[in-house]
Amino acid sequence: MKNEMYDLLDQPKAMEKWYRSNKAEFKQSFMDLYPLIKDKPQAEFWFHRLNYEGEEIQWGSKRELIFVLIAAVVAGLIAKMPAYTGIGEEFFYSRNIGFIVFPALIAYFTWKNNFSLSKWIILALISLVSLLFINLFPNNLQSDTLTLSCIHLLLFLWSAFGYSYVGEIRNTHKRLDFLRFNGDFVVMSTLILIAGGITTGITIGLFSLIGYEIGTFYFENVVVLGLAAVPLVATYLTQTNPQLVSNVSPVIARIFSPIVLVMLVIYLGAIFYSGKDPYNDREFLLLFNVLLIGVMALIFFSVAEASNTEKSKTEKYILFLLSLVTIVVNGIALSAILFRISEMGLTPNRLAVLGTNILILINLMLVTVKLYGVLAQKKDIVTVGSQIAVFLPIYTLWTIFITFILPFLFNFE
């Protein structure tokens, strides 16, 4: 992207066309390149334009706004299908929650990135096959493979969403952009949900004061439709106004990384005095793995942000130490699941957790080695981000295995 922008710098029409087609990508590429081209008049012009525009709220083109509104309505109608069709809510939402969120997001970026017809067809087939598979899955509420498929299907659809964002499988730079986007997306979605929650409380309260109890109607209609639209609206706002949360996400990463590091060290020490251990307590092992995945996500998000901004040496040390401590946590979780498999045999849940822990351990070790190189050999922290980006497709392959293959291996039990 940097080379492409450098070549187009002297072509105002081409620069403007790129800017209007994808403002977030344009600004990201330009700011990465700016230190090398800041002496050029064209670069100075774009720098001031981008930063001035950051002070205003942009609503994108009329076509884009219409597309988002239609897609949000469709997502809301999908969310209301149990009410319209009589399908059981537990059956529908446990299997189809991902199809309320991701198809609209996939369609948005597929349209926004001007994908070819072949890519449209591929993504449509992926969504359709996933939809049919999970809804034709035998309805056994005691089935571990059903639960695993429902959970990992969300991750698989997230991967398909990532492909619609990136556009090219081998584009590691865009993969890191996608991780950064997810951080901004979470922040924006949270803000929208807080605002929506306040609005809901005020609305129900005001109507209650004049004798109208609209709570049930409001939640069954307005809230459900609103929740379905939140992911798409948050995405639209972050894409048309990347400046809104682009400065918030790095701050969150910088604040929480040292806090989580201290918490993990204290937590590991407290385990030995609590009487709890993941070797004999199934629920504790489950929570332990949730903690592990959450910390790993924080590390990856922090590294993705670090690849885009300058990090102090202290911040790099915190990331390195956090990675080391997380490897210890992963080692405990991995040894616990191996112990339970040796004592009680292999089950779908244990196989899924085992594979996930092994992948996370390998990835964390590679990231830690790269972080050590950044600290000891003064390498660019971008190499750490590249290592994370390269590993992402492996997680996708694992979600495919758990979602679509594991149920057959265990006869859908």
54-63, 148-157, 225-234, 360-369: segment of lowest average pLDDT: 54-63
Q: What is the mean pLDDT of residues 325-349?
A: 88
Query: Looking at per-residue confidence, does 297 or 136 come out higher?
Result: 136
Answer yes or no: do 100 and 226 share one domain.
yes
Answer yes or no: do 298 and 235 share one domain.
no
State how many domains the chain has. Answer: 3
The structure tokens listed for 357 are 């822990």
Answer yes or no: do 155 and 192 share one domain.
yes
**Would you say residue 17 has pLDDT above 90?**
no
Domain coverage including residue 9? 2-53
pTM over 0.85: no
Answer yes or no: do 216 and 270 share one domain.
no
**Would you say residue 58 has pLDDT above 70?**
no
Contact 29, 2 (CB under 8 A): yes
Q: What is the mean pLDDT of residues 283-287?
A: 76
Q: What is the mean pLDDT of residues 13-41?
A: 72
Query: Looking at per-residue confidence, does 135 or 45 come out higher?
Result: 135
Answer yes or no: do 97 and 232 share one domain.
yes
CA atoms within 13 A on the CB side of 212: 8
Answer yes or no: do 79 and 47 share one domain.
no
Answer yes or no: do 253 and 355 share one domain.
yes
Answer yes or no: do 9 and 81 share one domain.
no
Answer yes or no: do 224 and 175 share one domain.
yes
pLDDT band at residue 283 using 50, 70 and 90 as cut-offs: confident
Answer yes or no: do 143 and 131 share one domain.
yes
Dihedral over Cα of 301, 302, 303, 309: its sign: positive
pLDDT band at residue 44 using 50, 70 and 90 as cut-offs: confident
Answer yes or no: do 73 and 214 share one domain.
yes
Going from the C-alpha of 121 to that of each of 60, 84, 125, 266, 397, the distances in angstroms are 26, 29, 6, 50, 20
Answer yes or no: do 46 and 154 share one domain.
no
Chosen domain end from 243, 278, 297: 243
**Would you say residue 337 has pLDDT above 80?**
yes
- Confidence (pLDDT) at 246: 67
Chosen domain end from 180, 208, 243: 243
